[in-house]
């Protein structure tokens, strides 16, 4: 399995997800859209498994490989939200977001590289990155919901911001686990659990952003607009942490977290 096979898996998955997203608007098609989303997820996971086997390492090293996981987890996060809270539009958004990442991978492919430098060869590597990607996907959905709330200003806001809350609790749980796994791994690989490396600094900032959101919501449940802006701000911090540090002049040549030369 190689990157040039990606289209053969991504396209059918995307079609499944898109049809499911459309069907989701009609309550009588609920089951069909769940099954179709799952089918897309299965097809997509075949590619990930294939890549994993042919690379002989988890596909988690380069930006393209992590985008792969992002496009994989988004529909899953969307599906769980859809099944749990029955939001009709959520699948459309998760599909759209996933599609964006798929397109980036198709139009900016990366070289096939098997090598995994010694520091990355650790049992902590896969859980650390996968848990982070899950958190990112959940926060992505929460951010979309916040934007939707700010634009639509519907009467049903009371219930919809509760969706943000739930997603932020779930996302923060993943984020905290990802961060702490990272700390334990850093201790084993570099001798210290926290070194304020640029990536770590921005991870701390992201974590603080979401913790502020949680407490602000508990404190001032009626100030929803401020809460939505906080959520969007936190998501921006997260973007800086994810790929922004690769471009920040302050982090250039200064971060142990920049592994791939071609982004």
Partner 1 sequence: MWKQTPGYIEGWTICSGLFITGIVLQLYSGKIAPDLLHFPINLISGVLFLIGLLLFHLISIKVKGIQWFAGYAAAVTSLSSLLLLVIIMGLTRQLPSSYDLSRENGFVRTGFMQMTVSWPFILLMLYFLWILGLVVLRRLSRFKWKDTGFVFNHLGLFIALFGAVWGSADLQRLRMTVSMDTPEWRATNEKNETVELPLAIELKAFTIDEYPPKLMLLDNITGEALPKKEPVNVSVETCPFEAELLDWKLEIVKDLPYAAGISNSDTLNYVEFHGEGATSALYVKAHNVTDDTRKEGWVSCGNYLFPYASLRLNEKMSLIMPEREPKRYASDVMVYTKSGDSKEASIEVNKPLSVAGWKIYQLSYDETLGKWSRYSVFELVKDPWLPVVYSGIGMMLVGAVFLFISAPKKI
List residues binding partner 1 (CB under 8 A).
84-85, 109-119, 121-122, 159, 162-163, 165-167, 169-170, 172-174, 176-177, 180, 183-184, 187-194, 196, 198, 201-202, 204-205, 208-209, 211-212, 215-216, 218-220, 223, 225-226, 237, 240, 245, 248-251, 254, 262
Whole-number minimum distance, CB 177 to partner 1, in Å?
A: 5
User: Binding partner of residue 205 among ligand HEM, partner 1, none, CB under 5 to 8 Å per kind?
Assistant: partner 1
Residue 132 and residue 202 in contact, taking contact as beta carbons nearer than 8 Å = no
Residue nearest to ligand HEM (CB): 211
Residue 29 and residue 23 in contact, taking contact as beta carbons nearer than 8 Å = yes
Measured torsion, CA atoms of residues 9, 13, 14, 15, in degrees rounded to the nearest 10: 110
User: Binding partner of residue 52 among ligand HEM, partner 1, none, CB under 5 to 8 Å per kind?
Assistant: none
Whole-number minimum distance, CB 246 to ligand HEM, in Å?
A: 27
- 161 to 200: interface string for ligand HEM, x by CB under 6 A: -----------x---x------------------------
Whole-number minimum distance, CB 64 to ligand HEM, in Å?
A: 32
- Three-class SS of the chain: CCHHHHHHHHHHHHHHHHHHHHHCCCHHHHHHHHHHHHHHHHHHHHHHHHHHHHHCCCCCCCHHHHHHHHHHHHHHHHHHHHHHHCCCCHHHHHHHHHHHHHHHHHHCCCCCCCCCCHHHCCCCHHHHHHHHHHHHHHHHHHHHHHHHHHHHCCCCHHHHHHHHHHHHHHHHHHHHHHHHHHHHHHHHHHCCCCCCCHHHHHHHHHHHHHHHHHHHHHHCCCCHHHHHHHHHHHHHHHHHHHCHHHCCCCCCCCCCCCCCCCC
The single residue among 119, 211, 212, 232 that binds ligand HEM, judged by CB under 6 A, is 211
Q: Which is nearer to ligand HEM, 147 or 214 (CB)?
A: 214
Q: Which is nearer to partner 1, 20 or 199 (CB)?
A: 199
Count residues contacting ligand HEM (CB under 6 A)? 6
Whole-number minimum distance, CB 71 to partner 1, in Å?
A: 20
212-231 residues in contact with ligand HEM (CB under 6 A) are 214-215, 218
Binding residues for ligand HEM (CB under 6 A): 172, 176, 211, 214-215, 218
């Amino acid at each position: 399995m190689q990157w040039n096979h990606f289209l053969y898996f991504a396209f059918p998955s995307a079609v499944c997800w898109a049809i499911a997203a459309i069907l989701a608007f009609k309550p009588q098609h609920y089951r069909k859209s769940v099954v179709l989303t799952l089918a897309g997820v299965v097809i997509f996971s075949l590619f990930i498994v294939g890549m994993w086997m042919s690379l002989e390492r988890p596909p988690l090293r380069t930006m393209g490989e992590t985008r792969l996981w992002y496009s994989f987890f988004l529909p899953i996060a969307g599906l769980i939200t859809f099944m749990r809270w029955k939001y009709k539009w959520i699948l459309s958004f998760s599909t759209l977001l996933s599609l964006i990442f798929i397109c980036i991978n198709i139009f900016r492919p990366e070289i096939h590289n098997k090598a995994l430098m010694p520091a990355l060869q650790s049992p902590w590597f896969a859980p650390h990155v996968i848990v982070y990607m899950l958190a990112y996907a959940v926060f992505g959905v929460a951010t979309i919901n916040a934007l939707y709330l700010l634009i639509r200003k519907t009467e049903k806001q009371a219930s919809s911001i509760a969706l943000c809350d739930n997603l932020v609790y779930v996302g923060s749980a993943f984020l905290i686990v990802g961060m702490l796994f990272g700390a334990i791994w850093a201790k084993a690989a570099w001798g210290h659990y926290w070194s304020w490396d640029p990536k770590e600094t921005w991870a701390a900032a992201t974590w603080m952003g979401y913790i502020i959101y949680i407490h602000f919501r508990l404190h001032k449940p009626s100030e929803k607009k401020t809460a939505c802006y906080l959520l969007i701000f936190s998501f921006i911090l997260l973007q800086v942490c994810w790929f922004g540090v690769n471009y920040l002049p302050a982090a250039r040549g200064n971060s142990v977290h920049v592994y791939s030369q071609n982004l």
